[in-house]
Copies of this chain bind each other. A is one copy, B any other.
Amino acid sequence: MTFLRENSPVKTKDMLIGALLRVPAEAIHRRIINDLNAAGFTELSLPHMALFRFPGPDGVRPGVLAERAGMSKQAMNRLLGSLEDLGYLIRSDAPDEGRARIVRFTKRGHAAYAKAMEVLRNIEREWRAELGPRDFAQLKELLFRVWESPLVR
């Protein structure tokens, strides 16, 4: 982001919470895709990230994944189809319910997900080094309180 950095100095008060959250969140997003691509998972792009994040899709039903990602079941189904073609996962019938299906990572899918988590841990290490362990923990704690609160529903 080459915002105003070249010009006058910017202070905390100038920035609103929207930009303060958005800019680092997007930076992390790009970083994960880049590192994933560099690690050999070259087909993965931005929309696939809806699946390769925190509670992974493994063992979950398509409809739940759609709701998590905030998209329609049809869109999620396409995503799953493309990732199935790419060999990252398979959809099999659920054992308990006839109409339901279950998403399962393949070996490659597990590897990609593990890599994404590794990148995230690397990012955390870098941030911890930059801010100091105490302040980084504080940042996560504050964000967690936001996450728990009704603010983000």
Contacts and interface: CB of A to CB of B under 8 A. Distances in A.
Interface of A: 1-4, 11-12, 15-29, 32, 53-55, 67-68, 70, 117, 120-121, 123-124, 126-127, 130-131, 135, 138-147, 149-153
B17 A123 contact: yes
21 contacts: A2-B67, A11-B144, A12-B144, A15-B54, A15-B140, A15-B144, A15-B147, A16-B120, A18-B53, A18-B123, A22-B29, A22-B53, A23-B147, A24-B151, A25-B25, A27-B152, A127-B146, A130-B146, A130-B151, A135-B145, A138-B138
Nearest to A146: B24
A149 B10 CA distance: 13
How many copies of this chain does one complex carry?
2
A124 to B, nearest CB: 5
Contacts of A151: 24, 27, 126-127, 130
